[in-house]
Structure 1
Amino acid sequence: MASSAFVLLCFFTLFLLCNGYPFHHNNPHKSFHRHSRLASHNYRDALTKSILFFEGQRSGKLPPNQRVSWRKDSGLTDGADLHVDLVGGYYDAGDNVKFGFPMAFTTTMLSWSVIEFGGLMREELQHAKQAVRWGTDYLLKATAHPDTIYVQVGDAKKDHACWERPEDMDTPRSVFKVDRNNPGSEVAAETAAALAAASMVFRRSDRAYSRLLISRATRVFEFADKYRGSYSDGLKSYVCPFYCSYSGYQDELLWGAAWLHRATRNPMYLNYIQRNGQVLGASEEDNTFGWDNKHVGARILLSKSFLVQKMQALHEYKSHSDNFICSLIPGAPFSTAQYTPGGLLFKMDDDNMQYVTSTSFLLLTYAKYLKRSSMTVSCRGTIITSRTLRTIAKKQVDYLLGSNPKKMSYMVGYSPRYPQRIHHRGASLPSISSHPQKIQCSAGFDFMNSQSPNPNVHIGAIVGGPDLHDMFPDLRSDYEQSEPSTYINAPLVGSLAYLAHSFGQL
């Protein structure tokens, strides 16, 4: 057993060295050297741009301090057909639909980024909190009526049949909801998680708003748990195939309860997790974390209660989290992760970068918990330290920012070389300022099919990324690789704050 562990350690060390990881044998609990000259990238600049991206995704009446000038007001009558106010929120990606499920997850992850690393953000903290609030202000509107959540604004199929600026859109702004008769536990529980997490973001700076958020989160979670069912069933023709819930709603119930437990410290949620954790938790081979699947995120989140708060009742989540970590370690007995030749974590062809950013965030967050508790991860005898987790996460972020075979940043506006033709309506069409005349539905496709670079640089947008072979064609029509989304950026905000601070850039 000892000899096999030694062989594994040697293999892992060789992998790190061959893929450009700095490998040290000194104190594993030290942070990165705090010297900007050793940094691979300007993480502070990337942090600024990653947050700025959210302003380009805003729907509704834009505020006076709006920095993305090529965007204007849009969707100002959203919800009017049902006599509800659903103005605001975010467009999820390169289209003009407001999907509540990924928007809630985006808000949860932005909040978690601020909770864990907001203290390192300095002047960017206010911008990050504004990004959170743009999401929560909308989610409060969407949950204003008890036992009802408005989960989508816009007919996705009709929206996708047009290529229009948000400011011009004339496709139906249909409103879809879940309620007692047509439940949607996954979107409801994710919304509860977002509101609960955000309540912690504003706990000191705006206590009244924080109390409103946690009160609403409690009510929304009760609805999610009491009226169980998938919104993909009742609203299948509208939410599928765009944001179907493929993983079911059990993961969101555990995730929502975990956030309410962390935000309130109410024993009721601890009891809920203890009673339902085994039923709601998936198999430990399920190591995907993104807008649809929250199992791994819930494990990492709950592990903090054991590692830092010493809640013995949640000790199992430490081992569950360790198994996730071991699944990422190349050559480890439980490793299931796939990497490109250039070293990028690769989960799937469509929008792979969301798994890169979410996994990197979990690595840095778990490293933080391990360091605070002076604990490590054991992968069948091989000890993995918090330093190793930070090293792996940094490698992924560096690849995203340009340390890759194509020498291309997959964040728009960062470094001299980045995607020029992202799949995004607003960015690819002339702005209202330069072209005040309306661009009709079908006329927009002339711009979509053009080989010209986008006229509006959507600074901070992170695209779906390269394929399994590190190739990226930079085609506007290739939405799988060229479309940005809010849930790619949200977890990266926290990772970039950590890296910028670690290298003395903040």
Structure 2
Amino acid sequence: MAALPLQLFSVLLVLSSCILGSSFPFISDHSHHAHRSAPAHDYRDALSKSILFFEGQRSGRLPRDQRMSWRRNSALSDGSLMHVDLVGGYYDAGDNVKFGFPMAFTTTMLSWSVLEFGGLMGHELQNARAAIKWATDYLLKATAHPDTIYVQVGDPNKDHACWERPEDMDTPRTVYKIDSQHPGSDVAAETAAALAAASLVFRKCDPSYASLLRRTAIRVFAFADRHRGSYSNVLQQAVCPFYCSYSGYQDELLWGAAWLHKATRNPAYLKYIQVNGQTLGADETDNTFGWDNKHVGARILLSKSFLVQKLASLHDYKGHADNYICSLLPGTSFSQTQYTPGGLLYKMSDSNMQYVTSTSFLLLTYAKYLTVAGTSVDCGGMRVTPQKLRALARKQVDYLLGSNPLRMSYMVGYGPRFPERIHHRGSSLPSVAAHPQFIPCGAGFKAMDSSASNPNLLIGAVVGGPDLHDRFPDERRDYEQSEPATYINAPLVGALAYFAHSAGQI
């Protein structure tokens, strides 16, 4: 391993004390040396912006240190219809609804980003932790009552019939919940995963908060497992087709158990995984990782327990993870993944970039585990090294940042050319500072239909991205390609931290 500069080494030591890096040093992943040439992209700048984006999605009373200054307080009475406090949290994308399912997944992925690569984030670590806490503070409110989880605030159909700033919002703030009579194991187990993962982030620097997160995660997971069912069946009109749980709830139970095992070190969760893993779909061949399906993430996370912690009983997860990796590699007989002519991983037309960022994160994370274990991936006799996984991830991240046929960055505010008409209400309407008067529900559609650039830059927002042929129209009405979302950015934070460091910039 190349010697790290003394300053960097001491910074890493200080930072790791506040985030419980992993059970092995952060720096172990960089033995396959940093890129010597000048980086094609300013990953450090992109990292800062990818975290700043979350401030633009905040709901509730904004803090004094709010940096996305065109935003103001919003939804300050959320939960009042049910006599509970549900103020805070995040709007998921370009609308004004707080969907608990994707918010919890976003929180889990932001936490995982910090756990794996937080020691490489420099001063951005503090901002990343703040982004996580904005979500967990809300999730603690949503899970405060036993055997009840408030999973959504806002009537999505009425919200989508308006185009208005969150600060002006006058659509119904209907509250939706699950309970023992109306189960939702998918959203409950994802919430448990989010709280458990976040507890690890705060374990060293805020032990009492971490303990609260962990205790709540244990209780919420037990509820998810005891009262089984999909929240889509209970709340169909409110959550479908927006965040319908298409993959069922088994993947979230496996994923939640994996995070509880990691956060508590209680052998009961390991036993749960061993006993239930197969029935929960551990060995399914699905290879899409996102807000709906967590199987692949669980396989990668559990493979660490085998590769790094040497838990022999989880040996099969190395094979499951390898199968996923082999399915991604272009040009092999195992490949199940489509790529655009420009080289972008392509899963689906709606918000494809979420799969690009989540896959890139998993490639880098698995490369880290493999490096520590001194092993590689076997794709039917073809040896695939950690460096190969990192190279594929870098190609995806570079494409997102502008190394693509259109020479366009898909992150707002990064690079000389980026989307200017994103599908986002607050960004597309004049800010409260510029236009203090109330803008009613229907009046905003004039801005939505306009071809003018958005007046407020939602810095760091990554949009849905180009189509299968690398085309991107940059049209506000095109929500499939032009809408940003918290779960697109969350895994990207970890990937950018890795590249910012490996490019010698941190």
Question: TM-score with structure 2 length normalisation?
Answer: 0.94
1:212 is matched with: 212
**CA–CA distance in structure 1, aligned partners of residues 397 and 157 of structure 2:** 34
1:277 is matched with: 277
1:265 is matched with: 265
* Secondary structure of residue in 1 paired with 2:176: strand
CA deviation profile, 1:247-300 (whole Å, cap 9, x unmatched): 000000000000000111110000000000000015532000000000000000
1:382 is matched with: 382
Shift of 1:160: 0.2
Contact 1:463 1:483 in 2 (8 A): yes
**CA–CA distance in structure 2, aligned partners of residues 204 and 120 of structure 1:** 17
Contact 1:287 1:296 in 2 (8 A): yes
**CA–CA distance in structure 2, aligned partners of residues 282 and 377 of structure 1:** 18
Aligned residues: 478
Shift of 1:40: 1.5
**CA–CA distance in structure 2, aligned partners of residues 245 and 392 of structure 1:** 29
CA deviation profile, 1:392-415 (whole Å, cap 9, x unmatched): 000000000000000000000000
Q: Point out where structure 1 has 5 or more consecutive residues left out of the alignment.
A: 1-27
1:302 is matched with: 302
**CA–CA distance in structure 2, aligned partners of residues 32 and 344 of structure 1:** 25
2:66 is matched with: 66
**CA–CA distance in structure 2, aligned partners of residues 330 and 494 of structure 1:** 23
1:83 maps onto 2:83 in alignment:
yes
Contact 1:29 1:387 in 2 (8 A): no
Shift of 1:330: 1.4
* Secondary structure of residue in 2 paired with 1:443: helix
* Secondary structure of residue in 2 paired with 1:138: helix
1:253 maps onto 2:253 in alignment:
yes
1:430 is matched with: 430
Contact 2:412 2:459 in 1 (8 A): yes
1:399 is matched with: 399
**CA–CA distance in structure 2, aligned partners of residues 470 and 34 of structure 1:** 27
User: For residue 133 of structure 1, what is the amino acid of its counterpart?
Assistant: K
Shift of 1:159: 0.1
CA deviation profile, 1:134-158 (whole Å, cap 9, x unmatched): 0000000000000000000000000
Contact 1:111 1:198 in 2 (8 A): yes
Q: Point out where structure 2 has 5 or more consecutive residues left out of the alignment.
A: 1-28
Contact 1:31 1:502 in 2 (8 A): no
1:486 is matched with: 486
* Secondary structure of residue in 2 paired with 1:112: helix
Contact 1:284 1:323 in 2 (8 A): no
Contact 1:189 1:253 in 2 (8 A): yes
2:34 is matched with: 33
> Structure 1: which 4+ aligned runs deviate by more than 4 Å?
none
User: For residue 145 of structure 1, what is the amino acid of its counterpart?
Assistant: H
2:369 is matched with: 369
**CA–CA distance in structure 1, aligned partners of residues 350 and 478 of structure 2:** 10
1:100 maps onto 2:109 in alignment:
no
**CA–CA distance in structure 2, aligned partners of residues 39 and 321 of structure 1:** 30
Q: CA RMSD in A?
A: 0.9
User: For residue 31 of structure 1, what is the amino acid of its counterpart?
Assistant: H
1:290 is matched with: 290
* Secondary structure of residue in 2 paired with 1:176: strand
Q: 1:265 to 1:443 in 2, by over 3 A?
A: same
Shift of 1:32: 4.3
* Secondary structure of residue in 1 paired with 2:103: helix
2:190 is matched with: 190
CA deviation profile, 1:192-241 (whole Å, cap 9, x unmatched): 00000000000010000000000000000000000000000010011000
**CA–CA distance in structure 1, aligned partners of residues 87 and 356 of structure 2:** 31
Q: 1:255 to 1:351 in 2, by over 3 A?
A: same
1:23 is matched with: none
Contact 2:282 2:299 in 1 (8 A): no
2:54 is matched with: 54
1:138 is matched with: 138
Contact 1:338 1:347 in 2 (8 A): yes
Q: 1:457 to 1:29 in 2, by over 3 A?
A: closer
Contact 1:255 1:294 in 2 (8 A): yes
Task: Report the more deviating stretch, 42-51 or 331-340.
Answer: 331-340
Contact 1:29 1:385 in 2 (8 A): no
